[in-house]
Structure 1
């Protein structure tokens, strides 16, 4: 395993080849990386990434620049080298969990593929992960070593990939916990979690009546949060009472009548209290409010 030679192109690099090599660091404890466009060297390599004009996973060839490309997903996003590598090794990296592998593909891999293949332009404002990787390249004003910069980018990408996998696994593993809380709710409009668990996807899918979530914060205090109408939306199924907006400490205690009430966000989507009893009283008031 340790004597494998992996080849990719030299010179300027992009997110797809960087993340491809980063992925392989999770598979092979060590390997000999060669960055070249020398076809003789490429032909001798065990695995070839993003160069060579061939896609054949059985022989370790993962290019997508040849005529006709290397296929596309059902949603139309073409595969770059990262997507091709993920098809081959993603399930293994995710310890055989297809749901996690698919989630990483949807959240990370396919986006990098789409940008690399020109399927999308990337983010309209701000900076994308693909652009971040590109900035590891030396600028025209620097006498940088492309290979050394590539190694830095791979180390960065490997860490990002690890965190994407952990995040995907956390969200997927949370589903059963949230589903049980939904089943056990005494009122389907208020779902109580015994510990904070990522809940939005499961609640939006499984609990159409749910309006508020109740859960402990990391500090041990209690939180009530409104359920959004959809993922990423700032509109809630039902907001907290309007008179609570932006209040905290004594003002919030006075208006709720709860001596351990803490705060309510001005956006009326989240509020807190010291005790579970008080947060449930807030939930009752929120349900009754117009």
Structure 2
């Protein structure tokens, strides 16, 4: 794996496969991901890997990440450790690591390679920004020592961790690949007694490289799963919500009610709604969303109050106080709307036996 240039892998046509270079020694999540990202590109799919800090050996590599002290896209050098380095992803304030650098320069090509979306496609651009914000930025922040919250503010507020989350982060898992035993103790072939554990042996470069490859594969699998989920679920849902957003005036002249059509794969709609409002200069416009419980003609319907902001338990406008915690016939009597089933005690969601009933609940609620 850490081979000299003369031992490059030969392709079927007799040409030598490209070589990716990164540093040897202790490895981190950012270069593990950077190497995997590069290998998603057709030109590096069959690449070999050299892990070294020898400047002369690195010169023989076709592309180098996380070592070398240079960020030069034309030269295919992507290090971020130099003192003067301050590059960030467009729209972000987080300094890039090698993962972010590779993504910034090659992300759209990677999306095209994995999903088939052309780099000129507007949806490719959406995924390019979405994958950075939801996945890769955390790698950049971790490697550059940028916490998600201001530690001083947390201390000032007296907020303390309830438990250690190191084992739950991808950076923590990658770090474990650096030192954890490669097989369970009871499967080890060394003949040592249970009371006399074997002394740790010095890792060879080959073993270290094998560990790195496993770490790279681990983070890469998580990335591909994230990309395929966004391309196969998040992106189609946006189109559904975009159409529903455009059609909302037919249910309320002021566009305060949106109807989300039922899809067997589900429609994660709320994040898209926030984004579409922002893009159309209508932030906070939609108060309630209606959606069916199933695709059957006689499906029950839900009415959901839109949250004040993503992840918030506060609503832009909760369902009427008089309806909260009331069910079935009593709710129909209180609201004057047939088919009412329930309204949650907090007023964030309710249900009706029909679409017309749910729509009536929404129409009454916007004016109460």
Structure 1 residue 90: Cα displacement: 0.7
- C-alpha distance in 1, partners of 2:93/2:286? 35
SS at 1:22 equivalent: helix
Match of 1:272 in 2: 351
- C-alpha distance in 2, partners of 1:202/1:184? 21
Aligned counterparts, 1:1-290, within 5 A: 3-28=17-42, 29-69=45-85, 71-73=87-89, 75-95=92-112, 96=119, 97-118=124-145, 120-122=146-148, 127=165, 131-138=169-176, 142-144=180-182, 145-165=207-227, 166-167=229-230, 169-170=235-236, 172-174=238-240, 176-187=242-253, 188-195=255-262, 196=267, 198=269, 199-202=272-275, 204-205=277-278, 206=280, 207=282, 208-217=284-293, 221-246=300-325, 251-257=327-333, 261-289=340-368
- Report the TM-score when normalising by structure 2: 0.66
Structure 1 residue 222: Cα displacement: 2.1
SS at 1:215 equivalent: strand
Q: Where in structure 2 are there 5+ consecutive unaligned residues?
A: 1-9, 12-16, 113-118, 152-160, 183-206
- C-alpha distance in 1, partners of 2:319/2:136? 38
Q: Where in structure 1 are there 5+ consecutive unaligned residues?
A: none
- C-alpha distance in 1, partners of 2:166/2:352? 38
Count of residue pairs brought into register by the alignment: 285
Structure 1 residue 65: Cα displacement: 1.0
- C-alpha distance in 2, partners of 1:140/1:80? 19
User: In 2 relative to 1, CA 159–99 (structure 1 residues): closer, same or farther, beyond 3 Å?
Assistant: same
Higher Cα radius of gyration: 2
User: In 2 relative to 1, CA 240–128 (structure 1 residues): closer, same or farther, beyond 3 Å?
Assistant: farther
- C-alpha distance in 2, partners of 1:263/1:146? 59
| Contact 1:99–1:172 (CA under 8 A) maintained in structure 2 | no
- C-alpha distance in 1, partners of 2:294/2:175? 40
| Contact 2:331–2:340 (CA under 8 A) maintained in structure 1 | no
Q: Deviations over 1:62-99 (max 9, x none)?
A: 11112312523464322211111012111112331223
Q: Deviations over 1:197-239 (max 9, x none)?
A: 5243245434443211112245654221112223332221110
- C-alpha distance in 2, partners of 1:262/1:149? 56
| Contact 2:177–2:211 (CA under 8 A) maintained in structure 1 | no
SS at 1:7 equivalent: strand
SS at 1:45 equivalent: coil
| Contact 1:256–1:282 (CA under 8 A) maintained in structure 2 | no
Q: Deviations over 1:142-170 (max 9, x none)?
A: 34454344333323322332344342634
Moved more, 122-131 or 1-10: 122-131
- C-alpha distance in 2, partners of 1:71/1:212? 41
- Report the TM-score when normalising by structure 1: 0.81
